[in-house]
Amino acid sequence: MNVLGIETSCDETAAAVVSTTGDEARPWRIGSNVIASQAGIHREWGGIVPELASRQHVRDICGVVERALSDAGVTWSGIDALAVTQGPGLVGSLLVGVSFAKAAAASLEKPIVAVHHLAGHIESIVLEHGEIPLPAVVLVVSGGHTSLYLVPDRGRYMLVGRTRDDAAGEAYDKVARLLGLGYPGGPVIDRLARDGRDDAVDLPRPRFTHPDRNRLPPGLAARVARGAPIAEFSFSGLKTAVVRILADRGVPIAAGFDVPTGASPLSQQDVADFCASFQRVVVESLVERTFEAARQLDAKSIGIAGGVSANSRLRRDAAARGAVEGIPVFVPALSLSTDNAAMIAAAGLRKLSRGDRSPLDFNAHATLSLAD
């Protein structure tokens, strides 16, 4: 079975063909995975401009889909079903993919499944590694999300916790702006951090109101089962601390603005130290909560997906901690970490294998819950 996946939730127009293999342990194979990134367009504005994003998706979608078909060596008649991101995301962007996919499904008279973007990120792990030991705890960490899920069975996702405020990737992007490093911030900070000292800048670790502060309260499994998740993350305080420290060091940041308004007195080494220190706090907080949740939920494996899972320190620290604790850690390849359509096709195949089909009148949703 060949599924055409389409993803337009944010600033990437993506299409992919993913096929079933018949092998239960490695159920899917990528035939093609095409991405047209809009990063160059949004970089000029320091972040994503939704109206520009939707317009660019309209320009790119036909070419990207045609390329995905030709790269996979299939024609439209070789497509058995369509899978498209329904949400969450920018609604104007989502609508381009949803409308395109519905039109294709209607004219081909093929089934279509609406896919949750985060289900796609979670299934990107299986696309890369094959089925992983369950139950698994999966951290989805991207520009728009920082959420932990319990995957008790294939294709079931239960929310364990999420960020109270900013997503980790959003914090990377904001701190990169403050340091004058451009957009998207994650890859640049990751690179510069290599030359910095991670204890050079004293940044606060996120604090919570639980009695034991930075540890998860006991009884997580019961909470997850009754839909009352608790394992929260928080990154907005960290950004505020960076603003304050930079201002103290004489970086000209005007009140209410999050970009420097003049020349920065920071040396290249200072910037590298900031990057390394910021990265350490973010990664420690992600790794700590994920492993704590895995311990409490008796997980047999840990997955990390989403744009920030491309982070070199997160990959290294999580793998090292997994080795110490004896729990395998699975992270997708870099090409499957950031937004792509192969992961959407994979999550679509997961639903199709259960007999799920979406009616042609489904809509795009800016916010959408994944937990069942």
Task: Tell the smallest beta-carbon distance from residue 317 to ligand KG4 (Å).
Answer: 12
Q: Which two tokens stand for residue 259?
A: 């970009």
Among ligand KG4, Zn ion, none, residue 172 binds (CB under 5-8 Å by kind): ligand KG4
| Distance (Å, whole) CA 234 – CA 104 | 41
Looking at the Cβ atoms of 87 and 196, the one nearer to Zn ion is 87
Other beta carbons within 10 Å of 188: 18
Task: Scan for tokens 């951290």, then name that residue.
Answer: 139
Does residue number 142 form part of the binding site for Zn ion (CB under 5 A)? Answer: yes
Residue 24, φ and ψ in degrees, nearest 5: -65, -30
| Distance (Å, whole) CA 304 – CA 300 | 14
| Footprint of ligand KG4 (CB under 6 A) | 10, 142-144, 169, 172-173, 184-187, 190, 306-308, 310-311, 338-339
Task: Tell the smallest beta-carbon distance from residue 91 to ligand KG4 (Å).
Answer: 15
Task: Tell the smallest beta-carbon distance from residue 30 to ligand KG4 (Å).
Answer: 17
Looking at the Cβ atoms of 317 and 339, the one nearer to Zn ion is 339
Looking at the Cβ atoms of 27 and 88, the one nearer to ligand KG4 is 88
Task: Tell the smallest beta-carbon distance from residue 78 to ligand KG4 (Å).
Answer: 28
| Distance (Å, whole) CA 90 – CA 258 | 22
Listing DSSP states for 31-84 in one string gives: EEEEEEE-HHHHHTTTS--HHHHHHHHHHHHHHHHHHHHHHHT--GGG--EEEE
Task: Calculate ∠ Cα 313-318-321, nearest 5°.
Answer: 125
| Distance (Å, whole) CA 68 – CA 324 | 41
Rg (CA), the chain: 21
Task: Tell the smallest beta-carbon distance from residue 144 to ligand KG4 (Å).
Answer: 4
Q: Which of 123, 166, 232, 339 binds Zn ion (CB under 5 A)?
A: 339
Among Zn ion, ligand KG4, none, residue 64 binds (CB under 5-8 Å by kind): none
Does residue number 7 form part of the binding site for Zn ion (CB under 5 A)? Answer: no
Among Zn ion, ligand KG4, none, residue 308 binds (CB under 5-8 Å by kind): ligand KG4
Among ligand KG4, Zn ion, none, residue 93 binds (CB under 5-8 Å by kind): none
Would residue 321 be called left, alpha or beta, if left means φ above 0 and alpha means ψ between -120 and 50 degrees?
A: alpha
Give the containing element (helix H, strand E) for 242: helix 236-248
Among ligand KG4, Zn ion, none, residue 169 binds (CB under 5-8 Å by kind): ligand KG4
- Residue 204-233 contact track with Zn ion, rule CB under 5 A, x = bound: ------------------------------
Looking at the Cβ atoms of 220 and 271, the one nearer to ligand KG4 is 271
Interface ranges with Zn ion (CB under 5 A): 142, 339
